[in-house]
Structure formats: C-alpha cells, structure tokens
Structure 1
Amino acid sequence: MDEPLATLAFIAVLGVTSMLAFSARWFHRRDVLPHLEGWALGDRRFGTGVTWFLLGGSIFTAYTFAAVPGLAYGTGALGFFPLAYTVILCPVLFVLLPKLWTAARETGAVTVADYVRARYDSPALMLVVALTGVLATMPYIALQLLGVRAVLAAGGLYPEGLAGDLVLTAVFAVLAGATFRSGLRVPAVISLVKGVLVFGAAVGVLTVALERLGGFAAMFDSADRELRTDGTGGGLLLDPALHPAFATLALGSALALPMYPHVLTAAFAADSPDALRRSTVAMPAWTFVLGLFGLLGVAALAAGVVAPVGNAEVAVPLLVRELLPELASGAVFGALAVGALVPAAVMSVAVAALFTRNVYAEFFLPHATPKQEVRVARWVSLLAKVAALAFVFGLREQDAINLQLLGGIWILQTFPAVVLGLFTGWWHRSALLVGWAAGMLVGTVLAVAGGFTSVVAIGPVLLYVAVVALAVNLAVAAVFTPVFAGRAEVAG
C-alpha cells in the first residue's frame, strides 16, 4: 500500500461500514425466540426504501461494476448488454416478485424451494431447485471477492502475497461475524451505505473524466479510434453478426437473475407485495448507475489506460487512480469493496436457508426446532464464506468465472418449476423434473464443449447457451406433461 492517504480513506469507509454491520442486530428487532424467518428474512418487515436498497445492492454486485466497464473497455458496445438485460429485468421483477412473495407468504415458505415443495407436493423438485440454487450461488460469492481483490490491487491497496490475503480475509471476517449473529439485517443496513457510495462514486469519477477528456463526443471519438487501432477493427459499434447473441444474452440474463436465491431472499424480506412493486418501479436508477460505470470503461479506453491482457476489469480502477487525488481514490475503492459485501452477505444467507430448510431439515432432521434451524443456518452461512475464500486463494480466477458461467445456465433451468406454477396448474411435477434434467445436461455440455463459452452457434446464428438450454427444458416438460398426466389418470 504505497499511497497512505488512499489507504486511510479506504480503511475509514470500511470501518464505518463494519460498525454499521455490527449494529444491524437492532434493526427492526423483535423480542421473540430465534427462528429462521427472522434470521434469513428479517421477519419480512422491510419497507419500500430498504427493499429498494437491498434488492439493488444484491442484484448489482461489485463484480458487475468491475466487469461491465471492463467489457466496454475491451469490446465496445457489446459490453453494454447488461444495460439491456437490466431494462428487461425491471418489468420481470415487477410481475414475478409480488406473485412469488404472496405465494411464499401463503405457504409459509422461507425459501423458493419451500414454495416449490408446497406448490407441487414434490420433495424431488424441491431438492433440485435448492441444490441448483446453492451450486449457482457459491461461485458468485467467490467472484465478489475476486472483484474486490482485482480492484484493490489495481488501486495499490492490496499488498502482494500473504499480507494481501490477510487483508481480504480480515475484511470478510467482519462481514462473517456480523452476518452470523444478525442474518439478513446486516446486508439490509450496509446496502444503504453501498447505495450512497456507489452512486456518488460513479457520478464523481465520470464528471472528472469527462472534464479531462473534453466531453462525451471527444471521449467516444477517442475510444473508437483506440479500438480500431488495437487490432480488433470494429470500433465501438456492435458487429451485426452478434445481434442475436446480444439479444439472447440480455433476455436470458433477465429471466435468470430473479431465480437466484439471493434475489428471492431479498424479495421475500419485503413487508408486502406493494413494497416490492414500488421498489421495482424505482429499480432503473440502479441501471442508470450501471450505465455510468459502463461509460467509465469507455473513458478508460479514451484516456489511454493500459490494462493487463485478459484483465480488462481493472481498467476503471487504473483510471480512478490516475484521475483522482489519493483521498478520493481511496474512498472510491472503499465504495467498491462495500459493494461486494452486500451481495456476498445476502448470498451466504440464501445458501444457508436453502440448505437448512430444504436439505437438512427435510431429509436429515424433519422435526428440527426453529432454534436448531437458526443454529444450522448460521454455521452454513459461515462455511459458505470460508469456502469462497478458499476458492479465491486456492484456484485460478478463470475457474470461478467458468463456474459462474455454468451457474447462470443452471439457475435459468429452475425458471419453469418456479414460475410456471404461478400462472397455471397444467404442468406436471415429474415433467418439470425431466425438463430440468434435460436443460441442465444440454446447457452444461454446450458450454463446456465450447471451452466455457456463453454463446453457441445454432446454424448461422449465435445464441446464449442458457436460452438454448431453457428452450430444451420447456420443450421436454411440455412433451412429458400430458404423458405423466395420462398415467396419473389411468392409475387413479
């Protein structure tokens, strides 16, 4: 750490956030015996404002704020596909989340797998939804840490070797300790800090960058010239051949994201469906700030920032370090670190709730008391964080990215089981299970066979692998539903 003022600002931001995290136990506190709904969902008492901060803080992760500008820096317009999918995402959230909240409340569900169990009376379907959620979420937690490490290293705030690993461990240990005791209340409180810091950082850095580069027109012209002269040849504009890939990436991501356990956990913690509707109506504000970060990737390109090959996500941290004085840059890096703490905490709580309710209590201890469930969930949330740290320190960064790619494909395969039952009773539970298996198999094989690629060629067209797998999933479920329904009628 060769910039003492930046280090001081960074520590100050994390210090204030840590104090708030440990004070979260008093947030919407109720003097009742411990129970999983209280620990994992904050007793479902979060109003519109808190829900908006918590949902936005969970969906828009630290890695997103590093990866989107990195994509824009490296590829131009293609890097803005997350903006398209978050625009689609908002109406999807508006329609789905209130319905799921109501269904969960009516069935007493703490997790989405609880709802699936109640809706279809199928322990098998519940189990695959729960395990898919856990498998898809674990690499996501690791990516938060990888994003923070990359950002801090680029900013000169991450010592090399063991010292740096100890810094990251210490930051995460504070989160782990607070979450262990207070559950979802911790990310609910620090999501307020994240919102203020991230919005302020995006606006402030972009303002300075535009002043330095001479405005939007000059920035885009310079960035376009940089991309045309670095060997890629296409400039900022999107190659028409990539339009189907762009569209299916946006659509598939918009459908997959609401299926992630951390998003549904944040949604189930709202105090009413109306609170969810109001918060999703205001969600485009988060899309706006994500767009600002994308523009920072273009600004880094225009400013001539040189990111290491294969590590484009550090372009914006390098830009911040170049443009801002030490105190300001340290505060920005602190904001990005806080940006990782919120989703990581919600993800660990969601994984813990899924394992406790839908694996441990369902199959190993059916008569678990509420106190036992909370105890197990706390330890599972802690183990999830430890596993994420072990992943970061023990495996290559590309391994986490590859697993996260597979996680996005896998989680979309739970969409039929979770969503279709909200609108119709036609689909058969066994057909949904077979469809899930077909989608998982096809999606995994296509992604791995292509070298862990997110797109696959179907004839002359490039499409997002997860969407292709979902189409197979739905087709198989549609074919088998009348088959299983007919057998049920004969047996009856």
Structure 2
Amino acid sequence: MIDDVDGVAFGVFVFLFLVVTVIGFAAARWRRAQSMASLDEWGLGGRGFGTFIAWFLIGGDIYTAYTFIAVPATLYAGSAVGFFAVPYTIVVYPLIFLFLPRLWSVSHRHGYVTPADFVQGRYDSRPLALVVALTGILATMPYIALQLVGMQVVLEVMGIGASGGNWFMKDLPLFIAFVVLAAYTYSSGLRAPALIAFVKDTLIYVVILVAVFYIPGQIGGWDHVFSTVSDGFTSFNSENADAIAAGDAAPKATMPPEALHWAYASLALGSALALFMYPHSVTGVLSTRSRSVIRRNAALLPAYSFLLGLLALLGFVAIAAGVKVENPQQSVPQLFEEQFSPWFAGVAFAAIVIGALVPAAIMSIAAANLWTRNIYRAFINRHATPAQEAAQSKVVSLVVKFGALVFVLALSKSFAINLQLLGGVWILQTLPAIVIGLYTRWMHRWALFAGWAVGMAWGTWLAYGVESPTQDHFGGPLVTFPGTDTQVYIALVAFLANLLVAIVLTVVFRAIRLAEGVDRTRAQDYYADAGDPGVEGELDPGERVHA
C-alpha cells in the first residue's frame, strides 16, 4: 500500500495528524464547563465563543476540504462558471450581517439549539419544524460524505489508499481517520473542531499563499499560466467541435459566455442564500457569545473569500505546470506533490485532510442536534432531560459519521456528489420558514409547509432530468428556464416556486381563517444581546438549563 509513498511527506503528514488528534481530545478541558451533559455545552461549546475563535470556527465550517479540492478542479476542467464560488462567498456576508444576529438573539433568549427549534417556537408547528429538521439532516449527510471524498483524493495522490490492491488496506487510512474524529468529537463536542480550526486554517493559509507565490514563479509566471490555459482551452474546443455541438462534450472557457451569465449569477446568488441555511453553519453562529461577534465575523470572514480566489487559480496553475490527472479533483494535490519539496508537500496534504475533519465534526454535531431536539424530544421522549439530550446527540453524531463513511466506501463518488447537488436544492427550501420568519409572522405555517413540499419535489425532479456527457441524471446544477434558452441554478428556480406557493396559500388560509398557532416569541426577543434579561454571554449548565 505504501511502496510509492514519499517517507518525508508521509512523516510530516502523520505528525500533524497526531498533533490534531491530541488537540481534539484536549479540547474537552478547554474552557471547561461544570458538566458537558447538555446541548448548550456539548453541541454549542457553551455558547461563549468570541470573535477570534468564531472566525476560525465558522471559516473552518464553511471552507471545507472538498471546497479546497473541488473549486480549483472546476477551473482545471475548464468550467466556464467554475469561479462562481468566489462571488457567492462575497455576497453571503452582507446577508448574514442582516439576519443572523436576529436568529442569535431569539435563540439565546429561548434556548433554541437548532433552526428547527426557532421554527417550532415561531409558528407553533411541529410538522413544519420536523420537515426543516429532516431537510437539514438530509442535506448535511452528503456534505459529510464529500469531506471523505476530499480526504480520499489526497490519500490517493500520496500513494496511501490508492485505487487497486486489497480493498481493506486501501480504505484502512480513511477508516482510522474517522474513528479518531468520532472519538474526540464524542468526548469534546463542538470544542474539538473549534480548537482544531486554529491549526487547520493556519496551515491552509500558509500552503495557499506559498503556492500562489512560489509555484507560478517556477513555471514562468502568471502571464505564462493564463496564456497556456487560454491556448489549451481554445485548442480543446477546436479539436472537439463536433462532440461539443452534439452535446457529447462541454466547451472549456476561462470566462462564461453571454449565454451562461444568468447561470453564473444564479449559482452565486442561490448558493449564497443557501449557505447559512445548513445546520452546521447555524451551529457555528449560535456558539458565539454576542450579536457583535456575528457582525464582526461577517466583516472579517471575506478574508477567506480572498483565499478562495487564490486557491481557485491553482486549477489554472496545475494546467500550466503540466499536471495530468484523469480525475480533476486530484489536480491540486498532484500539483503540490510535483512542485513542493517533500516536507512541505506533507504539510499541504495534512492541511487538506485536517480541513475535512473540522467541518465533518461540526456537521455531525449539527445533524445530531437536529435529531435530538426536533425528532427525539419532539416525538419520542418529550420530557427528555438535558443530560439525556446530550447523550442522544453523542450517539447520533457517531452514527452520522459512520453512515457517511459507509456511504462513501460502498457507493461511487459520483453518487455522493449528486446528492450534494440535491442538498443545495433541498436546504434552500427552508429559507422562507427561517429567514422570513425572523422578520414577520405574516406567512401561514401550512402555507410554508406546502411551499416547502413544492420546492423539494420540483427541485428534485428538475435535478433528476439534467443530463451531462457522462450522466443521464443529476448531470449538473443548472436547468434551462422554461420558455427560454437561459440556464439558471435549479435551487433558485425551486425556491421561487416555493415562495410563490407560500405567499398565495397564506392569502387563502388567512381568508378562510385557518388556525395559525401561537407565536412564542416577542418583538424584543430579536434584539436581545448578551447581558440582557434572560440572555447570558456564556451559559453554565450547572446553573442554568433551558427546559
């Protein structure tokens, strides 16, 4: 299994992985609480993270290992809209500056742990809260699986767990990594990824900055990079003109043509709207100590967008450097292996793998919290104690991690990628209930439920019908808008249908006076901050536990 592994790179990789493992277990004693037997402590880190910690935690939560693999891979593959991830991560921060402080306030005032908790309190609807929770879990599972895909890519480039050979030895490194992840997440809860995020983000910043300054200089500079890419794409399009015209191959371009402008814009906007609907993103936000921490992070997190832009360009650098891989996702790890000295290549590989562990931990915690609060306590054990909730979440977080592991090992990578495509479509359908609910109670709970159902069904159907040169179904995130030749993001089309249905049915249901339920929140709850009555900057489960 390790005949082709560089000993120096492997040694550095193992050392950094062991450092992170020690940090993960030590995190249980960091900012130690009287007890970890509550979701406030285990699942939200005591709700006391400040600006500095939150910046690393939320950044590590959003910018995952798969992000650092897939974004440059799209440019390496010649996708004309592959750069959309950069504007979408710029657009998202003004949005979260507006609505996430309100979600923080009402959640801290009422002890909400998940977005579905807020939906239940706002609309007095267990069915609506249930579908929001199930959608969150459903969308998160393939996201965790993609972290494994990112780890697999790095291990394959290193020569560990490469394709072929004994299946047990091939998958053993991935299995070991997730056993370790499961162990320290079970022990330390959200504190583990929060502490590890310091290491992960530091390594990522160092590796990317070195790569964008060092490697282009070794291969002729940025002018050479862009000219090589442009010439290569032009040559490909010319040689494959017939296949492109027949739809058997996709054209390559550095900039989207006019026909793809709406595709680019809708991908950026739809992804920005969806990003903080994911439960793990909300978990990171609710772990902070005040509204000001969220606002400051919304102002500081665009630094990651700058990093992402540099990272995306490494896809072009890989082309200019002559990197040849069948799987575009291997382009950047292969570039690192070929251009860096062995010891720094080991640092780069460790940075990407650790970049998978942090979001995978947060995602599993967020999914477990949804199960515990909005399924277990809501329908199975309505009088669960805080200790029972914490115990339930710990067990479910293990099940979620190993479910994702089995999913990746037993099924093809393309299946995981297809489901992640659907995850973006699905999670956006929870936005009306959550975000609109932060500002107004006008929307009717059953109208929101119907809108969600329409958006989920239509979005899934549209995604199923998309073909590509390699797939008959789930071939991409774009669909041709009815009656036009314009391609747009499927999730945004489904969301607009969702919103239209919810608005129309709200008018109908209000006209017939269908019961609306009792809103358990008050106007002042959406402005509460640390130190206000009923709100504390950091909760002590030994003294204060929400019912």
With normalisation by structure 2, the TM-score equals 0.88
**Alpha-carbon distance in structure 2 between the residues aligned to 1:12 and 1:295:** 29
**Alpha-carbon distance in structure 1 between the residues aligned to 2:41 and 2:256:** 47
Give CA deviations for 1:375-431 in whole Å, capped at 9, x if unaligned.
Answer: 111000000011011011100101000111111100000000000011112111110
Q: 1:7 touches 1:157 (CA, 8 Å); kept in 2?
A: no
1:204 to 195, 202, 210: 210
1:8 to 6, 11, 16: 11
Task: Name whichever of 231-240 and 364-373 sits farther off.
Answer: 231-240
State the shift of 1:227 in Å: 1.6
Amino acid of the structure 2 residue aligned with 1:114: D
Give CA deviations for 1:47-86 in whole Å, capped at 9, x if unaligned.
Answer: 0011111101000110010000000111255211100100
**Are residue 462 (structure 1) and residue 487 (structure 2) matched?**
yes
**Are residue 252 (structure 1) and residue 275 (structure 2) matched?**
no
**Alpha-carbon distance in structure 2 between the residues aligned to 1:359 and 1:60:** 29
**Are residue 269 (structure 1) and residue 292 (structure 2) matched?**
no
2:318 to 296, 300, 308: 300
The RMSD of aligned alpha carbons is 1.5
Q: 2:444 touches 2:516 (CA, 8 Å); kept in 1?
A: no
Alignment of structure 1 residues 216-295 onto 2, 5 Å: 216-231=222-237, 234-295=252-313
Amino acid of the structure 1 residue aligned with 2:113: V
Task: Name whichever of 213-222 and 437-446 sits farther off.
Answer: 213-222
**Are residue 424 (structure 1) and residue 462 (structure 2) matched?**
no
Give CA deviations for 1:211-263 in whole Å, capped at 9, x if unaligned.
Answer: 11222222111111122222366542222211100000000000001000000
2:344 to 315, 318, 328: 328
**Are residue 186 (structure 1) and residue 209 (structure 2) matched?**
no
In structure 2, what is the equivalent of residue 395 of structure 1?
A: 411
Alignment of structure 1 residues 92-491 onto 2, 5 Å: 92-160=95-163, 161-231=167-237, 234-308=252-326, 311-450=327-466, 451-452=473-474, 453-458=476-481, 459-488=484-513
Aligned residues: 490
Structure 2 runs not aligned, ≥5 long: 238-249, 467-472, 518-547
Give CA deviations for 1:343-385 in whole Å, capped at 9, x if unaligned.
Answer: 0000000000000010011100001111111111100000001
SS in 2 for 1:230: helix
Q: 1:52 touches 1:280 (CA, 8 Å); kept in 2?
A: no
**Alpha-carbon distance in structure 1 between the residues aligned to 2:348 and 2:178:** 18
SS in 2 for 1:110: coil
Amino acid of the structure 1 residue aligned with 2:445: R
Q: 1:28 touches 1:45 (CA, 8 Å); kept in 2?
A: no
With normalisation by structure 1, the TM-score equals 0.97
**Alpha-carbon distance in structure 2 between the residues aligned to 1:406 and 1:237:** 26
SS in 2 for 1:488: coil
Give CA deviations for 1:433-457 in whole Å, capped at 9, x if unaligned.
Answer: 0000010011000000222131111
Give CA deviations for 1:461-485 in whole Å, capped at 9, x if unaligned.
Answer: 1010000000000000010001111
**Are residue 46 (structure 1) and residue 64 (structure 2) matched?**
no
Amino acid of the structure 2 residue aligned with 1:272: S
Give CA deviations for 1:11-36 in whole Å, capped at 9, x if unaligned.
Answer: 01101111100100012111136111
**Alpha-carbon distance in structure 2 between the residues aligned to 1:316 and 1:35:** 41
Give CA deviations for 1:142-162 in whole Å, capped at 9, x if unaligned.
Answer: 100011101221232334532
**Alpha-carbon distance in structure 2 between the residues aligned to 1:335 and 1:170:** 17
**Aligned CA distance change for structure 1 residues 334 and 486 (closer, same or farther; 3 Å):** same
**Alpha-carbon distance in structure 1 between the residues aligned to 2:161 and 2:202:** 24
**Alpha-carbon distance in structure 1 between the residues aligned to 2:86 and 2:160:** 30
Task: Name whichever of 261-270 and 72-81 sits farther off.
Answer: 72-81
**Alpha-carbon distance in structure 2 between the residues aligned to 1:414 and 1:22:** 35
**Alpha-carbon distance in structure 1 between the residues aligned to 2:456 and 2:109:** 30
In structure 1, what is the equivalent of residue 530 of structure 2?
A: none
**Aligned CA distance change for structure 1 residues 314 and 102 (closer, same or farther; 3 Å):** same
SS in 2 for 1:463: strand
Task: Name whichever of 45-54 and 149-158 sits farther off.
Answer: 149-158
Task: Name whichever of 263-272 and 28-37 sits farther off.
Answer: 28-37
Larger helix share, 1 or 2? 1
**Alpha-carbon distance in structure 2 between the residues aligned to 1:97 and 1:353:** 19
Task: Name whichever of 356-365 and 205-214 sits farther off.
Answer: 205-214
In structure 2, what is the equivalent of residue 68 of structure 1?
A: 71
**Alpha-carbon distance in structure 2 between the residues aligned to 1:82 and 1:275:** 25
**Alpha-carbon distance in structure 2 between the residues aligned to 1:430 and 1:300:** 51
Q: 1:259 touches 1:412 (CA, 8 Å); kept in 2?
A: yes
